A and B are shown apart, each in its own frame.
Chain A
Amino acid sequence: MRWPLPWGMVGLLWMLLPTVAAAAEFQLDGPAPQPRCAPCHAWLDADPRPRPLAAPHDSLKVTHGGEGLWCLDCHVQDQQESLRGGRGAVFGWDAAHRSCALCHGATVTAWQVGIHGKRVGNWRGPRTIQACRSCHDAHQPAFRPVPPDPAPPRSRFWRPPSPTPEGPP
């Protein structure tokens, strides 16, 4: 007797296949976030409508995506440990980069092969790579300006560059 193929299961597995090819063997590193939704939303229903965040959420400053992003574009309502993926998929913190890949697909691909992001430790063998959130604050992902380390002592012979003359090179 032939067993019928469980096409639903095959389809599900297909959807779960990584959408980007991983290059080297790697292990993710980075702190897990500590969402604080549960104390209130365990018993209080969340309002899913996009709106400017007011108290008690006004401590949350979200600059990600300009004005265009709403909490539930990344988060899953009533599942504070989960992030949204495409086609209704839901990811845990350990696969958060797949949620980021919804918009930043090329960057996530570059990150997996080592073009984007920071590697530490070894340049050969299995790599430990930093998760997106270990460098970027997901709510304010841009790096803030920082003070530079001290300048080297000035050479006696150095002169400030003269303005480049106008005209074709």
Chain B
Amino acid sequence: MTDDDPDDSGPGAAWTTRRALLKGAAAGAALLGGGGTLAAIDGPTGIGLGDALGDLLQDHYLRMTPAEIQGALARIERQARRRFGVTLDCRNDPPLADVRFGFALNLSKCKGTRRCVSACVSENNCGRGGTLQNIRVLELPVGSRDLQDGNPYFTHQTVPVAGHWYVPVQCQQCADPPCVQACPVAATWREPDGIVVIDYDWCIGCRYCATACPYGARHFNWGAPRLSPSDLTRQTHYLGNQPREAGVMEKCTFCLQRTRRGLLPACLEACPTGARIFGNLLDPESEIRQVLARRPVFRLKEEQGTEPRFWFFTDGP
């Protein structure tokens, strides 16, 4: 019993006992896991016993102390070494001060090449050949914004096809995100830099958020990603592209493992036509602000009141 539990008997006793046991186990796991002895013992799932306990007792991301976060990052790196045999660099870069990220996409320039999709899958350690892709390129009749009529499965010899335009849809990083309201365990939230993130280790996989999202931007991970070690992007972030387990939600995070370090998102760098524009909405000189100032822009399903941070525009009138 701990000192702050004055009453040892009665109906609360079982609870306090269990809590004390968990606390002791956590302390033991942290001690031994950190020391490397327990961590080295393989548990039933192939990860170290200490790491399994650490995973089990891990708190919500926003409630973890800096030391606990460092422990979680170290566990992710150890598990990646066991699972893939590669050395990851998993970080926890915080949101940058005075930064709100925004994205714009020029529909006159998008030709439907899906290069952004491939780059996203590769950067974000999504399974190869799987259904989970954070970007969906919809083929629509020119001018149509009826996303339900979009065909994401087009297989033409070459693109673009006359009479169509291509609308890539990914997480719109809403300022009033319905997915966050829908989550029953608060495993998803909006960061100060405007990115809606998921604590993969807190997500229970109920998929309410996928139903709540008007853009179909949240995807359920039906299986652990099929990845060969050479495919793995090694620069990872806890809230971004760390290798995920099966059974959690995934989404576009504007590549926060890159953007919080000053780099551009992978989809933007892969776009062969320069249709994508990214930047800091609080910087009047940024490219995204120039788009908002000089081009007539629209957002998808604005009538939903979700306030997306993702704008679309065209070159012509």
Chain A residues with CB under 8 Å of chain B are 23-24, 110, 113-125, 130, 135, 143, 145-155, 158, 160-161, 164
Contact = CB atoms under 8 A, between A and B. Distances in A.
A135 B272 CA distance: 8
B262 A124 contact: yes
Contacts of B285: 23-24
A147 B112 CA distance: 9
A114 B290 CA distance: 7
Of all A-B residue pairs in the complex, the 10 with the closest CB atoms, nearest first, are A114-B287, A118-B274, A145-B158, A149-B114, A161-B149, A113-B290, A151-B153, A148-B159, A149-B118, A148-B114
A77 to B, nearest CB: 33
A116 B290 CA distance: 10
Interface in B104-129: 106, 111-115, 117-118, 129
B281 to A, nearest CB: 11
Given A123-B280, A149-B117, A164 B149 contact: yes
Contact of A148 (B149, B156, B269): B156
Contacts of B263: 121-123
Interface of B: 106, 111-115, 117-118, 129-131, 133, 136, 146, 148-160, 259, 262-264, 268-269, 271-274, 277-280, 283, 285-287, 290-291, 294-295
B154 A146 contact: no
A23 B286 CA distance: 9
B160 A145 contact: yes
Nearest to A154: B153
A117 B272 CA distance: 10
Contacts of B111: 143, 145-146
